[in-house]
Structure 1
Amino acid sequence: MESRETHTTAGASAAAIVTDAQGRCVIVNPRNKPGWNLPGGHLNLGETPREACTREIREELGLDLEIGDLLVHFWVNRDSGSHVYYIFDTPALTADQVASITLQDAELTEMRITKPEEIDRADIPRFALTAWSAALAAREDKTIRYVEVSV
């Protein structure tokens, strides 16, 4: 009997933990899916995760940020297929950068700058909460986390 391998094709996204000088996180509310999320989005063909993160933050927030260290490599298995998320760090925003944020109305309904502990956990998709928690912990202890979940 002949064995056939089945290879996965996974989607990929990149996002960042963007904070202000007080340690509050920038979170966004996308139009196309329920719940709050980190700024970021899907990789385009030929883009690296870091390039996609830079582009998405520019598009969503109007900011040209230096994308720092990788915090989390997050693998999600769903019935509809697999997806990999890369979450990066960024330097803290200056007051001028915060004031210059321009929200992309086509994709986002609103933005908040808030302390992580003040975010209502019911407003974040369960798998995203796992990724955010891992990213915040990795940022704190200067490590990279690898996380796998099935939803």
Structure 2
Amino acid sequence: MFYLIPAPLHRATLRLVYALRRRLRHLTKLDLAGVAVLLTDAEDRCLLVRHTYGPQGWAIPGGGMRKGEDPANAARREIREELGCEMEDLSCRLVVKEELSRSPHTAHVYTARPIGTPRADLREIADLRWFSKAELGAAHLTRLTALRLEELGFHNSES
């Protein structure tokens, strides 16, 4: 349904909703959950995205879980919506209890391989790029992405 809205208006709405959601989380301290999927290819590169909203920098694709949604199904939905592809070898690697926007958050972190060619939806995702481990040191990663890549053993921010 959101694809009926022109892309520029959709992107502006996402930025507004993101800011409002952060403020709401600060006030209500809602306990939320989300998923992140580190997609890798045969060359052991990882796919990172740039969002049209939120922190600037390269990020692991993913998003929020719906109430009662299975984390693996949420991961599949988010990748399908944002990158237009399916996945194989989906594996939950981490479940992290943390605080985001001063609210409790549970992150379900997966690894997988894409089926087909991922494409930026140009609504939530402005750009995407495959990174080798060597290229990650020079990449402008979001704070959370650098942390997740370290937790997964894919990147060491000290190097």
Query: TM-score normalised to the size of structure 1?
Result: 0.72
Q: Does 1:31 align with 2:52?
A: yes
Structure with greater proportional helix content? 2
> Which letter does structure 1 place at the counterpart of 2:36?
A
Query: In the comparison of the two structures, how many residue pairs are matched?
Result: 125
Greater than 3 Å deviation, 4+ residue runs: none
CA distance in 2, matches of 1:20, 1:56: 18
Render the CA deviation track for 1:25-80: whole Å, top value 9, x for unaligned. 00001111122211111111221111110000011111111352211112222462
Q: Does 1:19 align with 2:36?
A: no
Which runs of 5 or more residues in structure 1 are unaligned?
A: 1-7, 138-151
CA distance in 2, matches of 1:121, 1:127: 16
Query: TM-score normalised to the size of structure 2?
Result: 0.69
Which runs of 5 or more residues in structure 2 are unaligned?
A: 1-28, 155-159
User: Which secondary structure does the structure 2 equivalent of 1:57 belong to?
Assistant: helix
2:91 counterpart residue number: 69
CA distance in 1, matches of 2:35, 2:101: 21
- CA contact 1:13–1:84 (8 Å) conserved in 2: yes
Q: Please identify the structure whose Cα radius of gyration is greater.
A: 1
Render the CA deviation track for 1:82-109: whole Å, top value 9, x for unaligned. 2121111213x46xx2xx3221111011
> Which letter does structure 1 place at the counterpart of 2:78?
E
> Which letter does structure 1 place at the counterpart of 2:34?
S
